[in-house]
Amino acid sequence: MHILIIGAAGMVGRKLTDKLVAEGHLGGKAITQLTLADVVAPAAPEGFPGKAETLTVDLSAPETATRLAAGRPDVIYHLAAIVSGEAEADFEKGYRINLDGTRHLFEAIRQEGLRKDAPDQPYKPRVVFTSSIAVFGAPFPDKIGDEFFTAPLTSYGTQKAIGELLLSDYSRRGFFDGIGIRLPTICIRPGKPNKAASGFFSNILREPLVGQEAVLPVSPDVRHWFASPRSAVGFLLHAGTLDLARLGWRRNLNMPGLSATVGEEIESLRRLAGDKAVALIRTEPDETITRIVDGWAQDFDARRALELGFKADATFDDIIRAHVEDELGGRIGG
């Protein structure tokens, strides 16, 4: 099996790569080839016995998608995107990467399947597209189900919503077998803060856990929908093996997660790391971030994903513990 990960240098892409290498198979099929692509150089997978290729490419360039599809990967994980805050700040860049890049990829797969020099070798890969809960916009019901209409209030959410429609149509037409998974906000993201408007949800936990200050730009009563990086990788693995006939033509679905307020996040931090860690959080209201966050969904009814076998974290304590175990060697404190 040949697996292509686009956006492989990102946090989720790296963790997905590591998990695939450790498992050695996907859905019972041995992984013999990995292609890792991103706009910055992905790290070569350590300990992988098969063929591995790392590519530094820009998906917004049409020739990039053609090159990637020519390798005829069996499973394609499309994780590449610029984050919400950056897509809102730079309108043209957001559409070029998040929308044009996605369209180029889907069209390249279609064209590869139509190649006249290989009529006896049909090509119809599995495509896993990471969408976002940002496809939804207020006013919201108490819990958002898969049937709730998409009316995004940001450019990022709009770009992801269009990507979902393209994925559904290209799957309907038989060009590939696609599934779009709407990820909750991934928390706690390791590494340095990024330009995502949602970044503070991780920052107010990650930095205090190692003895550093963090800034909280919104009210503690802000509620949001979360999943850990561990859960995100689990979603991707399951999406890569799920019988997609069970989806019918409703190819995009909400992933399970955990609804919590910022205040509940902080209390979980207090339970696991103490008052000293909580004291490192400094409140500095930011009107721009507050306005963006006010347009985000707070809670979901993910019964469809749960019935299909997707699983997520049970408590915020579990989310913090996963970060401590995976990123801090089981130790709290800087």
Residues 6+ apart with CB under 8 A from 229: 11, 12, 15, 186, 188, 189, 190, 322, 323, 326
Amino acid (1-letter code) at residue 139: P
SS3 of 99, please? helix
Residue 333 lies in a domain: no
- Structurally, the chain folds into a number of domains equal to 1
Q: Which long-range contacts (CB under 8 A, 24 or more apart) does 316-319 make?
A: 316/226, 316/258, 316/260, 316/264, 316/265, 316/268, 317/268, 317/271, 317/272, 318/228, 319/187, 319/188, 319/226, 319/227, 319/228, 319/258, 319/268
CATH of the domain at 92: 3.40.50.720
Residue 294 lies in a domain: no
Residue 24 lies in a domain: yes
Structural domain range at position 102: 2-184+227-257+299-313
Residues 6+ apart with CB under 8 A from 210: 328, 333, 334
pLDDT in the model for residue 119? 63
pLDDT in the model for residue 128? 98
pLDDT in the model for residue 313? 96
| Predicted TM-score of the model (pTM) | 0.94
Residue 38 lies in a domain: yes
pLDDT in the model for residue 239? 98
pLDDT in the model for residue 117? 76
Residue 211 lies in a domain: no
pLDDT in the model for residue 229? 97
pLDDT in the model for residue 201? 96
pLDDT in the model for residue 293? 84
pLDDT in the model for residue 288? 87
Active-site residues: which are they? Answer: 156
Residue 160 lies in a domain: yes
What does the pLDDT profile of the chain (334 residues) look like in tens digits? 999 999 999 999 999 999 999 999 999 999 999 999 999 999 999 999 999 999 999 999 999 999 999 999 999 999 999 988 899 889 999 999 999 999 999 999 999 999 877 666 789 999 999 999 989 988 899 899 998 999 998 899 999 999 999 999 999 999 999 999 999 999 999 988 777 778 999 999 999 999 999 999 999 999 999 999 999 999 999 999 999 999 998 999 999 999 999 999 999 999 999 999 999 999 999 998 888 888 788 999 999 999 999 999 999 999 999 999 999 999 887 5
Residue 245 lies in a domain: yes
Query: Which has the closest alpha carbon to 131: 100, 171, 99?
Result: 99
Residue 73 lies in a domain: yes
